[in-house]
Amino acid sequence: MAAIALLAALVTPAAAEPDTKALERLVRQDCGSCHGLTLKGGLGPDIRPQALNHHDRDSLTTLILDGVPGTAMPPWRPLLSDEEAIWIADYLLNGAEE
Ligand code: HEC
């Protein structure tokens, strides 16, 4: 959790423009700690684009902000702004570069 808090400190003070480099690191390191470094699944499911067909940008943004109650998927609202969550949703849907 210390690493997450540190990343949050890097990510949140930015104004409207998301810090895409920091967000990309967050996806790889924090999301990747459960979903796998290449996002193809680990403790959490595969979240590469082909596995997210049942989501659109809005549903994915909400899921990232609120998490999945009753599972290990945490809510990221305390750490991410709406803009940052939307950026991550797009990043996941469009495919992170391998
Ligand atoms: C502590 C472990 C953990 C972390 C960290 C985590 N997740 Fe998850 N995530 C899960 C689990 C477990 C599920 C499956 C929940 C369920 O059973 O529905 C999940 C589900 C998801 C889903 C839904 C997949 C689908 O097919 O509907 C998405 C999208 C997702 N996570 C994205 C993220 C993103 C983006 C991050 C980083 C900001 C993240 N997760 C961080 C554990 C984690």
Dump pLDDT digits (tens) for 49-78. 999 999 999 999 999 999 999 999 999 999
For a mutational test of ligand 1's pocket, the pick from 10, 25, 30, 73, i.e. the residue with the most ligand atoms closer than 8 A to its C-beta, is 73
- DSSP character at residue 71: S
7 burial type by CB count under 10 A (0-12 exposed, 13-18 middle, 19+ buried): middle
Q: What is the mean pLDDT of residues 21-31?
A: 95
Topology of 19-94 in CATH?
Answer: Cytochrome Bc1 Complex; Chain D, domain 2 (1.10.760)
Unique residue bearing structure tokens 């796998």: 36
**pLDDT at residue 10 tops 80:** no
Q: What is the C-alpha to C-alpha distance for residues 80 and 54, in angstroms, rounded to an integer?
A: 23
- What pTM does this model have? 0.84
pLDDT mean across residues, the chain: 88
Ligand 1 contact, 60 CB (< 6 A)? yes
Comparing 15 with 73, the larger pLDDT belongs to 73
- CA–centroid distance, residue 26 to ligand 1 (Å): 13
**pLDDT at residue 12 tops 60:** no
Ligand 1 contact, 2 CB (< 6 A)? no
The three-class DSSP label of residue 81 is: coil
**pLDDT at residue 45 tops 90:** yes
